[in-house]
Structure 1
């Protein structure tokens, strides 16, 4: 991207095209994550860790976060629920480790988010450590609006579609019609409060075509990126959720034309035969800013 295009962009955003789950009990996986082309890493203490390995995984993950070496990748610790024997200790240890975010599982109320926010203050979590929420239960879907507005520290929703499908007694389908309502409710709530939101995982690791289609559908729905369960899914998510060269070229063209028209006092802008309004310019600036952030992450 040219310096000129950067001048046209809005303040930079954080790419979350691909966010990879890594089992917190596996030291080799935690080390390998440092070389993977993921925008973000969820170091998991919950579903990916057996009960008898919970404490050891906590120590391993928090030590890895403190040691660093993950570059510009966003590092998130998914803790166990507060209703479990490990939840409070997980949060306390995570606050001391200082990841980019703490991911709360199965969030169903604003009360829980505010409770964790208070705990993070008590445990002296650094200011840069944010709260992310797993949205994966029917009650969570129905309370998405109140959850999204619960805390200024909350910055991202993560869809847990596997648990959601199970709780709904539904089926995983190509078009995901059984969960469209749930996805829509969370997308609306997230956007209303200025949060990012990540699509759920695609479970069939041998179905690359299906995964690409799922990424494309997620982009069309409005998600910022996709959660991933295997490194071989990264490339498709990164490509799908990044602006294409053609989109960027058109975005820069729109911004430049609109700025030129403003300087000339013109109220109407037409680019390639299409009427351009402020909403188009805002989206164009978002795409340029995202492309710049992706380029910076790659460096």
Structure 2
């Protein structure tokens, strides 16, 4: 049985905005990322930390996965953010600027007494992180790191590399696919970066489709208006679900019990396609359970 937690849409919400924190309870995002880092001015860091952690402790967000993005451990706010986030017990703590596996080892949730349900997510947003991404993802094999997901920080990558964020993301694709391969090699999820233009709905949907076709589990978002499109694109279509059911049923037929490949709708289907089909069905069921 495949267990999947849908992460089609992961919405950043500024931790300094109490109204946004409350509004997140009504939004259809699979994941809410309460941001203590980029979206919060230095003089608001302490207040944001307090109200985000209070909101997470209070709950009321239903099936939404709750994540707190802390400031980097080496910043003046990182240590306090981490301690407060651990005490709040979100589903995950998102660590920014992860450029080596050593950063994850140093976080030490177990040492800090974090509840077992709290996992670590890592931002991949520096040139060094791309060069080290396989080692970073491999840290997931050490249960003590609790690494569960990589999150692409494409804006920071563009800033540090001077690559232009143009339609189609030609300059970014090698880095995106390298990170995705690392995540898949070590059995963890990976989320695509944000899309900056709020007025370009067609461009946003196209980039969601590109991320889905590349293999990403979902997309990080900067505005609630982006949720519906991300949820639609990263969910299996009715046609995909029907096809997956047919493939699974085909190999369950007695006459195909010992076969490695059979013909289906004019295509050769192998047993690896059954595994893929079962994942499509599991994702569809997990999404339906959220409704």
Q: Same fold (TM over 0.5)?
A: yes
* Residue among 82, 107, 124 paired with 1:135: 124
Partner of residue 58 from structure 2, selected from 56, 67, 84? 67
CA-CA distance at 1:272 after TM superposition? 1.3
SS at match of 1:106: coil
1:31–1:261 CA distance, 2 compared to 1 (3 A)? same
Q: Give the counterpart of 1:248 among 241, 249, 261.
A: 241
Q: Distance in 2 between matches of 1:264 and 1:165?
A: 51
Which residue pairs with 1:103 in the alignment? 94
User: How many Å apart are 1:28 and its aligned residue?
Assistant: 0.4
Query: Displacement, 1:274?
Result: 1.5
2:136 matched to which residue of 1? Answer: 147
Check the 8 A contact 1:37/1:234 in 2, yes or no: yes
User: Which stretch of the first structure deviates more once superposed, 274-283 or 197-206?
Assistant: 274-283
Whole-angstrom distance in 1 between the partners of 2:135 and 2:115? 25
Shift of 1:266: 4.1
The higher relative CO (CA closer than 8 Å, separation ≥ 6) is in: 1
1:286 aligns with 2:274: no
Q: Distance in 1 between matches of 2:196 and 2:254?
A: 49
Equivalent residue of 1:162, what SS? helix
1:163 counterpart (147, 156, 164): 156
Q: Distance in 1 between matches of 2:69 and 2:281?
A: 31
2:202 alignment partner, one of 167, 190, 209: 209
Maintained 8 Å contact 1:261/1:269:
no
Quote the residue 1:276 is aligned against.
269
**SS in structure 2 of the partner of residue 149 of structure 1:** helix
Query: Partners of 1:199 and 1:98 in 2: how far apart?
Result: 25
Alignment partners' CA distance in 2, 1:187 and 1:263: 34
Cα RMSD after superposing both structures: 1.1
TM-score (norm 1): 0.94
Q: Residue 265 of structure 1: CA displacement?
A: 3.7
Report deviation, 1:11.
2.4
Change (3 A) 1:267 1:77: closer
Distance 1:279 1:16 in 2: 24
2:213 matches 1:220: yes
Distance 1:264 1:168, change over 3 A: closer
Question: Using a 3 Å threshold, how does the CA distance of structure 1 residues 262 and 188 change in structure 2: closer, same or farther?
Answer: farther
What is the CA distance between 1:270 and its match in structure 2?
A: 1.7
SS at match of 1:158: strand
- Kindly report structure 1 stretches of 4+ aligned residues shifted beyond 4 Å: 261-264
